Amino acid sequence: MRIFIVLIVVFAVVAALADKAPIFSLQDTQGNKVKLGDVLAKKGCVLIDFWELSCFSCKQALPKYQQIYNKYKDQGLEILAISVDSVRTVSNVAPYVSGIGLTFPVLLDTNNDVFRNYHVEIMPTSFLIDCTGEIRFTHTGYKPGDEKEIEEKIVEILKDYAGQKK
């Protein structure tokens, strides 16, 4: 009976940790170090979007995320776009990002460590994380209109965050 109780506790702890976002630190396109833990401490929610230059759907989604960012950044939203471009193509990321007018941080994961830690299989893949570090929503792929569902989830989390601040 005792072993059974211990196993239940272990499984409960593992299940609780399974929803936590892996913490990471990456450089942005300007060479600044960005730590997810620091961002979570300051914001109500974080949308992490894994993308690469060769991905057409990724390049469709980024301007839509910029529109969402403009709308909710003052309410506690942060977006971290993580480029998984290789060392051969990463030099093209900053000019591309600047050219389309992204203002949220674009991070570089050239060795794909963070990509692997998040178990990404389809590009793009986005994770919506609340201020406690819990992954509240995951979205894979992109087609026009998908940003509406993502925006709805962001609004839900920001409402929760606003309620916690009071």
- pTM of the predicted model as reported, rounded to 2 decimal places: 0.87
Say how far apart CA 37 and CA 59 lie, in whole Å: 27
Domains of the chain in sequence order: 22-165 (3.40.30.10)
Tokens of 118: 């998040």
Nearest in space to 133 (alpha carbons), one of 39, 57, 53: 39
Mean pLDDT, rounded, for 107-117: 97
Predicted confidence (pLDDT) at residue 130 exceeds the cutoff of 60: yes
- Which residues, 6 or more positions from 11, have their beta carbon under 8 angstroms from its beta carbon? none
Say how far apart CA 112 and CA 86 lie, in whole Å: 9
Paired strand residues for 138: 127
Q: Which helix (H) or strand (E) holds 158?
A: helix 146-165
Say how far apart CA 95 and CA 44 lie, in whole Å: 29
Kindly report, residue by residue over 92-106, the tens digit of the pLDDT. 999 999 999 999 999
The answer to whether the CB of 120 falls within 8 A of the CB of 38 is no
The answer to whether the CB of 127 falls within 8 A of the CB of 23 is no
Mean pLDDT, rounded, for 129-142: 96
Predicted pLDDT at 3: 52
Tokens of 37: 């833990």
Mean pLDDT, rounded, for 137-154: 97
The answer to whether the CB of 150 falls within 8 A of the CB of 47 is yes
Mean pLDDT, rounded, for 125-149: 97
Radius of gyration of the chain (CA): 17
